[in-house]
Amino acid sequence: MQATGIIVEYNPFHNGHLYHLHETRKLTGADVVVAVMSGNFLQRGEPALLPKEERTKMALAAGVDLVIELPYAFATQQADVFANGAISLLHALFVQDICFGSESGSIEEFHTLLEKKATHQHTLQQIIKAKMKEGISYPTALSFALEQLSTNGVDVSLPNNILGMHYIEAIRQQQSSIVPRTIQRHGSNYHDETFQHNIASATSVRKTLLTNDLSLSSIEQVIPTATANLLDSYISSHGIIHHWEHYFSSLKYALLTRTKEELASIYEAEEGLENRLLAHITEASSFTSFMEAIKTKRYTWTRLQRLCLHILTNTTKKQMAQAHQEKLVPYIRILGMNQQGQRYLSLMKKKIELPLLANTKAFSHPLLELDKKASAVYTSIHPEPIRSAMLKRELTLHPIRYNEIEKAFSH
């Protein structure tokens, strides 16, 4: 079987993701598409609009064959750690290639950039240090430094290009035989906040939904029917979708009730950042106003948002270090599959060396403990008994199975 991997968040699944999925199959001739998907919290340090169970259903309904989870300790990290974890899972599942979306659209340009990066490492570090001394954040300094080296058309200031570069680097570092491929993004740009086409950015989909009182009619032109149905079902039964404002009171409580020493022990609390947060939390009336008060050129919204998330989940530097002792993800948690995905697992299970988890009851690992804690926080905005039911599903839920003929989900 020709297996191709994709690395996704699906927050939520929209027409651009559908385009990427279809083009991936065309480009690679894949018999099975395996998606590594972030759990309930995402790379930019924010909660997913819907739980991973609902986003898994979106993926399966669209044609993904197998969905596995990228754990919290990798999913909520800067691009290189995020990429390293995702690639390690796809390598463990013996996929032959990966296909990512990029603004470049040329895999050769990525390889050329990485050759230059390796050759000019000393110069690169000098430029980064100089820019950071000017008060610029590390990601911006890295992008600037890479731009000085690159004349081949890869705009490294754009998130998808940066992630693509790190995917290829992770493949090389892990000495994996995975072949990287890329598809040029189609439609709106990553940061666009309005709809210009029937393919929109996830940012614009989320913003439109939230500013229109969760009205699905406001986004129906840019999402598949299955996404609309799953969003409608979740909103109808739970009354909300998840975003940072729902968690702000919990964040404020955590900041105001912990000592400076406790806050300093939190992962990503560096250079006295906890003091900056404490200086502004008392008068902040919303998460947005709080973030606007604390962000600087050096400390970006994303960097600070990730720190806030780790404070919210009480994830310490020690806990994160324990979770990352093995550098790579040491197990495969299966979130969902269709019949083709099940066939692939049956075919490959004797070769796969990592534990395959159908649920979390009989397995223990520091990575998994962080996931459980994150799920407890994610569900905390719901009243009882909804919260307890969601947590129970998290611990005991078997993979979602999708019948493509009947278009039905089961466990």
What would the pLDDT profile of 152-206 be if each residue is shown by its tens digit?
567 887 889 999 999 999 999 999 999 999 999 876 554 555 566 788 889 999 9
**Which residues are known binding-site members?**
7-20, 101, 160, 185
User: 332-338 and 356-357 as β-strands: parallel, antiparallel, unpaired?
Assistant: parallel
CA distances from 385 to 53, 388, 392 (A): 18, 5, 11
Residue written as tokens 């598949």? 224
Q: Region of 329 please: left (phi>0), alpha (psi -120 to 50) or beta.
A: beta
What pLDDT score does 189 carry? 53
CA distance 46 to 48: 6
What does the pLDDT look like over 319-374, one tens digit per residue?
A: 999 999 888 999 999 999 999 999 999 999 999 999 999 888 888 999 999 999 99
Whether the pLDDT of residue 257 is over 80: the answer is yes
Question: If you average pLDDT over every residue of the chain, what do you get?
Answer: 92
409: tokens are 């989900």
Tally of CB atoms within 10 A around 337: 24
Q: What is the mean pLDDT of residues 24-45?
A: 97
CA distance 203 to 265: 32
- Checking 122-131 for CB contacts under 8 A at 24+ apart, the result is 123/149, 124/149
**Which residues are known binding-site members for ATP?**
7-20, 101, 160, 185
Whether the pLDDT of residue 397 is over 80: the answer is no
Q: What is the mean pLDDT of residues 36-64?
A: 97
220: tokens are 């129906």
What does the pLDDT look like over 67-115, one tens digit per residue?
A: 999 999 999 999 999 999 999 999 999 999 999 999 878 999 999 888 8
Domain ranges of the chain: 3-103+183-242+326-410, 244-322
Q: What is the mean pLDDT of residues 284-297?
A: 96
291: tokens are 């973030």
CA distance 355 to 333: 8
Give 48 or 138, the one with higher predicted confidence.
48
244: tokens are 């940072």
Q: What is the mean pLDDT of residues 228-248?
A: 96
CA distance 279 to 300: 17
* Confidence class for position 9, pLDDT limits 50, 70, 90: very high
Give 251 or 405, the one with higher predicted confidence.
251
Q: Region of 299 please: left (phi>0), alpha (psi -120 to 50) or beta.
A: beta
| CATH class held by domain 3-103+183-242+326-410 | alpha beta
User: 408-410 and 400-403 as β-strands: parallel, antiparallel, unpaired?
Assistant: antiparallel
Query: What residues contact residue 327 under an 8 Å CB cut-off, 6+ apart?
Result: 84
> pTM of the entire structure?
0.94
CA distance 278 to 40: 26
Residues in the chain: 411
CA distance 237 to 400: 19
